[in-house]
Amino acid sequence: MTATITGSAGEVLKTKKRVLTRRGQTCNQRCYFCYFLNKISNESHPEHAFMSFDKAKQICKTLVDFYHNNAIDIQGGEPTIYREILDLCQYCHDIGLYPTLITNGIALSQEGKLEQYRDHRLRDFLVSLHGIGKVHDQVVGAPGAYGCITKALEGMVRLGIPRRINCTMSKPVVPLIPEIARKSIEYGALAVNYIAFNPFEDQKAGIRTHENVPRYSDLRGPLTETLDMLEEAGIEANVRYVPLCMAEPRHRKNFYNFQQLPYDTHEWDYESWMWTMMYPQRMRDSSLNATYRLGYGASGLYRSDAFQRRDAFEQSPVKGRIKYGVQHVLARVESAVRGRDVLYREEAKLRASVDCGYRYHDGCNRCALKNICDGFHGDYADLFGTAEAKPATDLRPIDDPLYFIKDQVKVVEPEDKEWAM
Ligand code: SF4
């Protein structure tokens, strides 16, 4: 059965069916407010400069042809300052990748800009609204940014361009979380993502402090009010990287830890994500590395620093082709035998435990949600400890990552309409 609603953003398909996402992403890191900050501020960083248009196109084509992705988030840093961004949007559309721009909205406040993106077949904007008024300006470090972002959002409403909202929950933003939901309703956002201020990538230590990182338990009240409000308004809401015990039971369906993330159709596909996040794909001056599949040997390849920087593929193309050819075959066999969902879940657990050093409190051992919850980000645990854990003891142990999120209504890409309700 297909159900649609029509809003100011046009026809929107929604679903409760959870399938592995096919959304890819590419990036060349130039953002001034995020985990790419170090690369932005350091001009000699190998990932500082934008990649060429040809390289960006090669990556996009690989996402379609090899990884079978159907949507892409284009981020920079700030993608609207990339010279060929309009042509890249058109290119993605033409090869079957719905293009989304993750943007701070500043450039989009200029007259006529939004119309250009619409005419180059942009699918939607994911707008980074990290506060209201002066708080937004302060958090993003740009006076006047809030005026620009609201002008851009108003323009999207006027032109009927779909928009979603991202909000990083740094400490000054916490009291404004419900207000951001009200703004999202006012601007007719299709979805709102509230993201914990956790570090990722090679973000330098010391950026996060007691002054700018809120306690998870302080998020509970504002998030409860907010999620009720967005539910009532029929807007998809997602909370990312926060322990499940910080949710009211009725809101557990909105909480995405690493094990739930691959089923968020607005999030990135782990398989292509592993490939696009390798340094050769992100640097201006490097040819693309060989593709590889999730499964046999992938984790070792992805987490090998030598591999990330430059694989032996270039030094010995013949050996490289054999190596990756074998990897493709063995990973396919493993996926067929064990199932793709199993492989995605294993990768999710590695992202939490190995990449981010997530930790559990002793009490988590009594918690029915432990098998599907990441616990506390390692960096957070260093700042605040893990004593806020509130084990769920009134349920039988749950081992299905979809157990709660299968009850959430999500927006679907038009190409995935077979999933729609
Ligand atoms: S496993 Fe620990 S952190 Fe996760 S929900 Fe249970 S008590 Fe909270």
Domain boundaries, the chain: 4-271+403-419
Question: What is the number of the ligand 1 atom nearest to the C-alpha of 244?
Answer: 5
- List, run by run, the mean pLDDT of 10-residue segments along the chain (421 residues): 28 50 40 46 59 89 93 84 92 93 92 96 94 92 92 97 95 96 97 87 67 94 98 97 97 97 89 86 79 93 69 67 92 97 97 94 98 96 96 97 96 60 51
* C-alpha 168 – ligand 1 centre gap (Å): 22
Instruction: Please count the helices (runs of H) and the strands (runs of E) in the chain.
Output: 15, 11
Whether domain 4-271+403-419 has CATH 3.30.450.20: the reply is: no
pLDDT in tens, 54-70: 988 999 999 999 999 98
- The preferred substitution site among 248, 359, 369 for testing ligand 1, maximizing ligand atoms within 8 Å of CB, is 369
Tokens of 5: 């609603």
* Dihedral in degrees, nearest 10, Cα atoms 38, 42, 44, 50: 70
Minimal CA–CA distance to 288: which of 326, 322, 259, 324? 324
Q: What is the CA radius of gyration of the chain?
A: 21
Our answer on whether the CB atom of 372 is closer than 6 Å to any ligand 1 atom is: no
pLDDT digits (tens, 9 = 90+) for 330-377: 999 999 999 999 999 999 999 999 999 999 999 999 999 999 999 999
Consecutive H or E run containing 157 = helix 145-159
Task: Please give the distance, rounded to the nearest whole angstrom, from the Cα atom of residue 265 to the centre of ligand 1.
Answer: 25
The per-residue b/e assignment along 50-67, b for 16 or more CB within 10 angstroms, e otherwise, is bbeeebbbebbebbbeeb
Does the Cβ of 360 fall within 6 Å of ligand 1? yes
Exposed / middle / buried, residue 413 (Cβ in 10 Å: 0-12, 13-18, 19+)? buried
Q: To the nearest 10°, report the CA torsion of 336, 342, 345, 347.
A: -40
Strand partners, 126: 102, 164
Ligand 1 site, residue 96, Cβ cutoff 6 A: no
In this structure, the dihedral spanned by the alpha carbons of residues 236, 242, 244 and 245, taken in order and rounded to 10 degrees, is -120
Single pTM value for the model: 0.88
| Residue recorded with tokens 């940014």 | 145
Sign of CA dihedral 16, 17, 20, 23: negative
Asked whether 373 lines ligand 1 (CB < 6 A), one says yes
Do the Cβ atoms of 127 and 149 come closer than 8 Å? Answer: yes
Q: Are 233 and 244 in contact (CB under 8 A)?
A: no
Which atom of ligand 1 is the closest one to the Cα of 361?
2
Ligand 1 binding pocket includes 375 (Cβ within 6 Å): yes
Between the CA of 363 and the centroid of ligand 1 the distance, in Å, is 8
